[in-house]
Amino acid sequence: MYHSQLRAFHAVATQGGFSKAADHLGLTQPALSDQVKKLEERFGVLLFHRHKRVVRLTHLGEQLLEITKRKFELEKQAVDLLSAHQKLEKGHLNIAADTPLHVIPLIGQFKQGYEGITVALRIGNAEEILEGLLNFSFDIGIVADMPDDERFHAVTLCEDPLVAFVSKSHPWAGKEGITLEELSEGARLILREPGSRTRNHVEQEFEKAGLDLNVALEIQGREAAKEAVAANIGVGIVSKPEFGHDSRLASIPLVDCSARMTESLVCLKEKLDLRSIKAFLESNHIPEAAPLL
């Protein structure tokens, strides 16, 4: 409410006079003098002793100057902070993914150009990630089988088949391929938690084939599923790239499974104009990202 008047007072106090203060603020001297006069009249106080061309702070003026120094220093810090974020010298991105496989290279590429932007990564299933995007907990998500939803901007990154995997000591470890019927009749499966896109695909494929699912264990998280398979509790199913490299495990192609895991980068459409999100998309050459201004 008194910002312009306090700014005028501060300029006179720090510049040593009304003429220099007016030049500093880009105002005429009468306009600047009027601002200081209004502040004094509003509170019925005297902030400067004026004698010809000499201006000296009153005791109250000295006290007020200590306050305005803090006020305008904080204002400068605020402007510096906002400017740094505008230039992407500083900032923060919250990213969530259903696997580190696809997102880590994207973060690495982004950080090469924007070292000042900190990134927090959380791993979860697709339902958790989409919910987090909607409640603004996350800025960007990497999810499998993104449904059509007009609230989101989504770009497909890859499409991959599913594979079964067993421990190296399992009798099937040397098989070159396996059918869903063989899995239904001869295996107990390690299934991911409800909400997992991998689990959804497995259930749909078995239902489409008219086969039963024999579940040994329901477990949360891909790494936990791998540990369960390594312990010979059952047979797991993941997308081919997610199997990765584990000397304890062997993958087996699913010869009659048509399901494909589609991984997409997703963000809310209303957040597409955020400079940090635009920069993330552009640095990874992801299409449909408007250029930074």
Helix or strand or coil: residue 220?
A: coil
Q: Is there a contact between 219 and 189 (Cβ–Cβ < 8 Å)?
A: no
Which among 86, 121, 142 is the end of a domain?
86
Cα angle 152, 155, 158; round to 5: 135
Q: Based on the domain organization, do 279 and 211 belong to the same domain?
A: no
Identify the pLDDT of residue 288: 60
Asked if residue 206 is part of any domain, the answer here is yes
pTM of the model: 0.62
Print pLDDT tens along the chain (293 aa): 789 999 999 999 998 889 999 998 899 999 999 999 999 999 999 999 988 778 999 999 999 999 999 998 888 878 777 877 777 778 889 999 988 888 999 999 999 988 888 999 999 888 899 999 999 999 999 998 898 999 999 999 999 999 999 999 999 999 999 999 999 999 999 999 887 888 999 999 999 999 999 999 999 888 899 999 999 999 999 999 889 889 999 999 999 999 998 999 999 998 888 888 888 999 998 876 444 44
Q: Based on the domain organization, do 149 and 183 belong to the same domain?
A: no
Identify the pLDDT of residue 92: 87
Q: Cα separations (Å) of 117 from 16, 85, 249?
A: 41, 9, 37
Q: Based on the domain organization, do 140 and 269 belong to the same domain?
A: yes
